[in-house]
Copies of this chain bind each other. A is one copy, B any other.
Amino acid sequence: MTNFTANDFDMPHSKTWCPGCGHFMVHKILREVIAEMEMAPDKIVFVSGIGQAAKLPQYIKGHMFNGLHGRSLPAAMAIKASNPQLEVIVNSGDGCLYGEGGNHFLAQIERNSDITVFAHNNMIYGLTKGQGSPTSPKGLVTPVQIDGVTNEPFNPLTVAIAMGATFVARVFPGNSEQTKKVFKKAIEHKGFALVDIFVQCVSMNKTNTFKWYKENTYELEGDHNQGDKIAAFTKALENDPYPTGIFFQENQKATFEENCAAYKNGDQPLYERNLDMKKLKKLIESRRA
């Protein structure tokens, strides 16, 4: 039944990404991972916002909710909460998730909504042609930041850890083996899983190139304790070079859906349920007293 290959998850449409764009690598690895995990397209909803990264769901077989710029996370949260039987996977960009969508990033972590977030972090606004993003390094010159970016770069990992996110990871797809492993664990994780992905934007960011990412990342040591928040935070502060891997994971915390009264007796999707007319009658009657 679920014997799909990575290619089966490809869509026939031509991709509008630039040749060499890092989003291709995520597209490939993600398809491989879900194929290996024996997932089926009709059990997954791919959610995104707007941006080059956010086009990914257009090119992968599954249900798709390609929403507004910055708003992928509320959409994903609501889809999961309306039908917990669906696997909900978000792919979007650094601008979308950490810029316009910053408040939703915080709020969905607070909920521990059971969704997986793949954040394509190319440290630039790709689709709108190269303005600084929240993760752009200081000094990066762009058409808006003409004398270089001056904002403190947003560190998605430290913030997610600070927020109490239950799965926090970073990968560099140049290290495809680790990337695959982390993707799998993120999808398997029950609760909010963040994977920040270092991808190159070959057209708009000439600083943070594939080569740069390669030279500036290293795998987290094997003895890193993923249950230790302070160790995770300490590692997440490192940036010369940047560690990759799973920084933090916690499995006990209930998810948003688990906390919903509606799912106390099972995860039957909302659409299958019907209004209990007797209860409604009773509720109305209660107002006669």
Residues in A lying within 8 Å of B, measured CB to CB = 100-103, 106-107, 109-112, 134, 147, 150-155, 158-159, 161-164, 229-230, 233-234, 237, 253-254, 256, 259, 261
Contacts and interface: CB of A to CB of B under 8 A. Distances in A.
A17 to B, nearest CB: 27
Contact of A159 (B159, B253, B254): B159
The CB with the most chain B CB atoms within 10 A, among A103, A155, A237, A259, is that of A103
Given A103-B103, A134-B110, A147 B230 contact: no
B233 A162 contact: yes
Top 4 nearest A-B pairs (CB, nearest first) are A158-B162, A102-B103, A150-B259, A162-B162
Contact of A230 (B134, B233, B261): B233
Q: Which of A151, A162, A259, A261 has the most CB of B within 10 A?
A: A162
B229 A152 contact: no
A150 B237 contact: no
Contacts of A112: 152
Contact of A164 (B102, B155, B234): B155
Contacts of A163: 152, 154-155, 158-159
B106 A150 contact: no
B110 A154 contact: yes
A167 to B, nearest CB: 13
B161 A162 contact: yes
A54 to B, nearest CB: 18
Contacts of A155: 162-164
A146 to B, nearest CB: 9
Nearest to A145: B259
A163 to B, nearest CB: 6
Contacts of A150: 111, 254, 256, 259
Nearest to A109: B152
Contacts of A100: 103
A173 to B, nearest CB: 25
Contacts of A164: 152, 155
Contacts of A261: 147
Highest count of chain B CB atoms <10 Å: which of A109, A152, A237: A152
A110 B159 contact: no
